A = this chain, B = another copy of it.
Amino acid sequence: MSNPSLLILAGDGIGPEVMSQVRRIIDWYGENRSLAFDVSEDLVGGAAYDVHGVPLTDETMEKAQSVDAVLLGAVGGPKYDDLDFSVKPERGLLRLRKEMDLFSNLRPAQCFDALADFSSLKRDVVAGLDIVIVRELTSGIYFGEPRGIIQEGNERVGINTQRYTESEIERVARSAFELARRRGNKVCSMEKANVMESGILWREVVQKVHDEDYADVELSHMYADAGAMQLCRWPKQFDVIVTDNLFGDLLSDAAAMLTGSLGMLPSASLGAPMANGRPKALYEPVHGSAPDIAGQGKANPIACILSFAMALRYSFDQGDEASRLENAVEAVLADGARTADLLGEEGVTPVTTAEMGDRILAAL
C-alpha cells in the first residue's frame, strides 16, 4: 500500500518558516513511527501570483484534489494590496475551500495553561477554555451571486449576496452535532434570524437536523451579536458553536484572540468523504501571514504544527499520534520555551522558530 499523500502549500509571509518546522515533524513520524507520507510542495497566494500571475494554478488545484490532505501556511501581504480582486492571494485559499468543497471549518479556541496570562481576559475567564467554532466555509456571502461593483445612475454600488440552501446548512449542522457528541455534547447555533431571512432558514434547519437525528445533543440558538458579547463575557459557557461563513470569520478570530494563544491555534477544513473514506481536508493555522515579522525567526510554528496534529487525527485516524504531538508541544511550553510572540513573563526562555522546532522534536 502506498503512503498517504500530503500537499504542502506554505504560502506567504511567515508561512514558509513555520511550515519548514512542520516538515521536520512529518519526517520524524516517517522515521520513528512508521508513518511515512508522500509529501509534495507547491505555491499558493502571493507566492503563486509572483511566479504564475494567479494565486492558485489549475495544476495545483488538481494536486490538492488528489492528495489525502493539504497543509497550508498562510496567504496575503501588503505587497499584494493593490492587485485586482480576482488575483488577490486570498482568492487562492478561497478557490481551494470552494472547489474541494470544504464546508466544515473546525476552529478550536483553546487556552494553553502555560499561556493563560497572555490573554487580555482575566485568568479565571479563560484558563482551561476549550471550545470549537464550526464555521461554514464554502457558501454564504463569500461566494454568493450576484456580486461586484456596478454602476447605477451616477454612482457605483458594491454588492455581495448571502445565500444558504437547506442542504448547505444541514451538512455543516451535522458536522457540528457529530463533533459535539465527541466533546461536551452541546451546540450553540448563531445567526441574525431577527433581521435576516437567511438566518431564519439557518435556525430552522439546524433545529430540524437536531430534532430528527441529534436530539441527545443540547442545542441552543443565539443572535450573532449576542454571541459576540457572550464570547467576550464568559466563553466557557460554550462547547461547540456552529455559524455561517462571515459570522464564523469574526467570531472565531475574536475567540482565538481571547485565549491568548493565537500563535498556537490550528484549524481543520473538512469536506465530504473521498473514495478511500478520508474526508477532503485542508489544515492551516488560525493566524495570518504576519508579513511584518516574516523571515526573522520570530514566528511561532506551533499553530502550524498542531494543524498537522489535527491532520493525523481527522484525516489519518491517528488520534494517539496526534496526542503524542500535542503533548510534546505542551511539554516544551511547560519547560518555558517561548517564541517572540509569547515573551513577557519572567523565567521563560526565548527561542527562534527553528529552536522551537528542535525542542518539539526532542520532546517527541
Check if B226 sits within 8 Å of A195, measured CB to CB: no
B-contact bits for A85-113, CB 8 A (1 contact / 0 none): 10010100010000000000000000000
Residue A349 interfacial (CB < 8 Å):
no
Residue A200 interfacial (CB < 8 Å):
yes
Set of chain B residues within 8 Å of A61, measured between Cβ atoms: none
Set of chain B residues within 8 Å of A247, measured between Cβ atoms: 250
Check if A254 sits within 8 Å of B228, measured CB to CB: yes
B-contact bits for A136-155, CB 8 A (1 contact / 0 none): 00000110100111001001
Q: How far is the CB of A189 from chain B (nearest CB, A)?
A: 14
Set of chain B residues within 8 Å of A272, measured between Cβ atoms: none
Check if A157 sits within 8 Å of B163, measured CB to CB: yes
Q: Which of these, B152, B159, B196, B253, contacts A229 with CB under 8 Å?
A: B253
Residue A26 interfacial (CB < 8 Å):
no
Q: How far is the CB of A133 from chain B (nearest CB, A)?
A: 12
A269 and B291 CA atoms in complex are apart in Å by 38
Set of chain B residues within 8 Å of A167, measured between Cβ atoms: 155
Q: Which of these, B160, B194, B225, B250, contacts A225 with CB under 8 Å?
A: B250
Check if A233 sits within 8 Å of B249, measured CB to CB: no
Majority secondary structure, A binding face: helix
State whether A199 and B158 are in contact (beta carbons under 8 Å apart), knowing that A120-B121, A152-B165 are contacts in the complex: yes
A contacts with B, residue count (CB < 8 A): 61
CB interface residues, A 199-239, toward B, < 8 Å: 199-202, 224-226, 228-234
The closest CB in chain B to the CB of A224 belongs to B250
Q: How far is the CB of A341 from chain B (nearest CB, A)?
A: 12
Q: How far is the CB of A175 from chain B (nearest CB, A)?
A: 18
Check if B201 sits within 8 Å of A229, measured CB to CB: no
Q: Which of these, B125, B160, B232, B246, contacts A197 with CB under 8 Å?
A: B160
The closest CB in chain B to the CB of A90 belongs to B194
- 17 CB < 8 A contacts A-B: A121-B121, A141-B162, A147-B196, A147-B197, A155-B167, A156-B166, A158-B199, A160-B162, A160-B196, A192-B246, A225-B250, A226-B288, A228-B253, A229-B256, A231-B254, A232-B232, A232-B254
Shortest 7 CB-CB contacts between residues of A and residues of B: A158-B201, A158-B198, A229-B257, A228-B254, A225-B253, A155-B166, A160-B162
